[in-house]
Amino acid sequence: MKCLFILPLLLTARLSLTGNLRDPDFIDPTGTYLLTGIVKKNHITGHSGELRVRLLDRHNAALCFYINKGYPGYESGAFMDTVAYDDNTLCYFPTQDSACYLFFSFDPKSVEMIQMYNNPRSGCGFGPGVIVPAVFEKSSNESPVIMDLSAHGN
């Protein structure tokens, strides 16, 4: 009889320690992620950018994204959208280019972005060379402001 009383207490204690007994691998993507370019002779070379994500519920997230190609042209791209969040990943399907999508895979300290496409010349609606595979490092766990970042580089 004592064992039956202790079992619910142990399960409750484990649930409070793990936070989620059903899915311990779930990653809350909420936060701000940065991609930092290299500064050479007062010019940012290489790609730089920012990704802000706010989890709306277990299966949806709002995000805003900005990426810049760097010196010499500083071509850039940005978008803001609400997308499905499943298995610690987000997929963004641009309305301007149905031949590709951007795939964001989250871990606790970063997010990896890759471009998936049917047409190798597809830029996902962005200029040539703006989108590249990259790892954005998490800079904040705070719930970010989701806003248009297209003027971020100006």
Work out the pLDDT band at 133, boundaries 50, 70, 90: very high
Predicted TM-score (pTM) of this structure: 0.80
pLDDT in tens, 65-85: 999 998 888 899 999 999 999
Instruction: Quote the mean pLDDT of the chain.
Output: 84
Instruction: Kindly provide the b/e burial profile for residues 98-133, where b requires at least 16 CB atoms within 10 angstroms of the residue's own CB.
Output: eebbbebbbeeeebebebeeeeeebbbbbeeebbee
Residue of 66 and 123 predicted with greater confidence: 66
pLDDT at 9 over 80: no
pLDDT value of position 154: 60
pLDDT value of position 73: 87
The DSSP element (H or E) to which 64 belongs, if any, is strand 60-68
d(CA 29, CA 84): 12
Mean pLDDT of all residues in 128-137: 92
pLDDT value of position 33: 98
The letter for the amino acid at 131 is I
